[in-house]
């Protein structure tokens, strides 16, 4: 698509290995030279994608970002190959990506309900720490032209904290992805943090207040709605997690919709709220995957999610590309009609 450049922001959700879908979306968006990405808000896996993207972009532009994301996800997959959390022979035979019948997953899930990570992971081992160290130059990230907003949840207060480029370290990214039943809280300057999804998945406000872009492309991983009520234990837990990790985002979007109606579009901060244009890339396929598949990072699965992300982004560009920079392609005002 040949057209004048449009500055845009990205909002990237978390969701474990499902973040490979976001990798595919970013991979396709980076092929569009008219999209000028100036800021990214990310949480959990979205935070990892955001940091790798910005660091790669700083080193080598769009191609550098694409290469960095490819390298990162390959490293994630190689690290996961040594994890005991693998699909069972039954899951493989049935062509399922979940770990629901994996003995190691069942044992880990049970232990997480009986013991805290301070008990069963006393050394605080996290394989992602080494992966991040090998894939991100944090000094270079601090001077990236792409603004980053990484969310983690403060354990003591339950409030979100947003980390910006110069503050981002491996600990910040691990804090943003710290599931409290699996990992010990990550301490930063003496303050413990948990997964940012509890406070914002992702946080949208800084994109409006601190970025020059008026268009935000939201890459959604966690479904907001499901047609059928969950019945099995795993389905119920999966839906509880989706609601929990979407609730902060939905409240923030509702607030944004309200401010858009009352903000002065003329000048000042009110203009930023009034001029916001929202877009979304998503896939119904993700809703068909169970919660345990978020811990499955085998290359075949990651590659499939990447391909689906590219397909979804291609569909988005074909359908809504001409609207970016002109009008929203998702309606936020409908949130004001809900109780």
| Of residues 40 and 225, more confidently modeled | 40
Is residue 6 classed as helix, strand or coil in its secondary structure? strand
Tens-digit pLDDT profile for residues 241-267:
777 777 777 777 777 777 666 665 555
Share of the chain above pLDDT 70, in %: 92
Which ranges in 152-232 belong to alpha helices (H)? Answer: 170-176, 205-210
| Of residues 1 and 229, more confidently modeled | 229
Contact criterion met (CB below 8 Å) for 25 and 219 = yes
The pLDDT of residue 177 is above 70: yes
Q: What is the DSSP string of 106-125?
A: HHHHHHHHHS-HHHH-TT--
- Tokens 């949208």, located at residue: 204
The pLDDT of residue 335 is above 60: no
| Of residues 21 and 337, more confidently modeled | 21
Q: What is the pLDDT of residue 268?
A: 56
The pLDDT of residue 207 is above 90: yes
Contact criterion met (CB below 8 Å) for 216 and 279 = yes
| Of residues 262 and 303, more confidently modeled | 303
| Of residues 225 and 198, more confidently modeled | 198
Share of the chain above pLDDT 90, in %: 57
Residue 8: strand pairing partners:
37, 215
Q: What is the pLDDT of residue 303?
A: 97
Q: What is the DSSP string of 8-64?
A: EEEEE---GGGHHHHHHHHHHHTT-TTEEEEEEEE-THHHHHHHHHHHHHHHHHHHH
Is residue 255 classed as helix, strand or coil in its secondary structure? helix
- pLDDT class for 269, splitting at 50, 70, 90? low
Q: What is the pLDDT of residue 302?
A: 97
Gap between the Cα atoms of 179 and 210, Å rounded: 28
Q: What is the pLDDT of residue 83?
A: 84
- Window from 82-96, 117-131, 169-183, 228-242 with minimum mean pLDDT: 228-242
Tens-digit pLDDT profile for residues 97-145:
888 888 888 888 888 788 888 888 777 888 899 999 999 999 999 999 9
Angle in degrees, 0-180, between the axes of helices 45-80 and 19-29, rounded to the nearest 10:
110
pLDDT average, residue stretch 269-285: 79
- pLDDT class for 239, splitting at 50, 70, 90? confident
- pLDDT class for 339, splitting at 50, 70, 90? very low
- Window from 147-151, 238-242, 261-265, 289-293 with minimum mean pLDDT: 261-265
Gap between the Cα atoms of 200 and 153, Å rounded: 8
Q: What is the pLDDT of residue 153?
A: 96
What rounded mean pLDDT belongs to the chain?
A: 89
Two structure tokens written together for 226? 């499901």
The pLDDT of residue 211 is above 80: yes
């Amino acid at each position: 698509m040949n057209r004048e450049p449009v500055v845009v922001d990205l909002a990237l959700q978390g969701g474990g290995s499902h973040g490979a879908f976001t990798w595919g979306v970013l991979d396709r968006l980076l092929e569009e030279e008219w999209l000028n990405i100036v800021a990214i808000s990310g949480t959990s896996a979205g935070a990892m994608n955001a940091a790798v993207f910005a660091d790669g972009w700083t080193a080598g532009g769009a191609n550098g970002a694409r290469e960095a994301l490819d390298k990162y996800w390959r490293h994630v997959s190689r690290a996961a190959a040594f994890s005991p959390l693998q699909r069972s022979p039954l899951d493989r035979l049935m062509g399922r990506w979940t770990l629901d019948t994996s003995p190691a997953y069942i044992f880990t899930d049970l232990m997480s309900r009986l013991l805290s990570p301070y008990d069963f992971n006393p050394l605080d081992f996290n394989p992602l720490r080494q992966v991040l160290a090998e894939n991100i130059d944090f000094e270079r990230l601090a001077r990236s032209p792409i603004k980053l907003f990484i969310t983690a949840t403060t354990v003591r207060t339950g409030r979100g904290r947003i980390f910006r480029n110069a503050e981002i370290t491996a600990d910040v990214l691990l804090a943003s992805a710290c599931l409290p039943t699996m990992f010990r809280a990550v301490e930063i300057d003496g303050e413990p943090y948990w997964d940012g999804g509890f406070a914002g998945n992702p946080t949208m406000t800084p994109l409006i207040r601190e970025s020059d872009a008026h268009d935000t492309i939201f890459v959604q991983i966690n479904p907001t709605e499901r047609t059928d009520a969950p019945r099995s234990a795993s389905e119920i837990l999966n839906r509880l997690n989706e609601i929990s990790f979407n609730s902060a985002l939905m409240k923030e979007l509702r607030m944004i919709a309200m401010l858009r109606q009352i903000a002065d579009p003329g000048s000042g901060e009110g203009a930023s709220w009034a001029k916001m244009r929202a877009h979304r890339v998503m896939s119904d396929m993700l809703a068909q995957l169970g919660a345990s598949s978020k811990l499955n990072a085998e290359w075949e699965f990651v590659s499939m999610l990447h391909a689906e992300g590219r397909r979804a982004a291609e569909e988005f560009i074909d359908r809504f590309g001409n609207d970016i920079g002109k009008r929203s392609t998702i309606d936020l005002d409908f949130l004001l009609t809900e109780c």
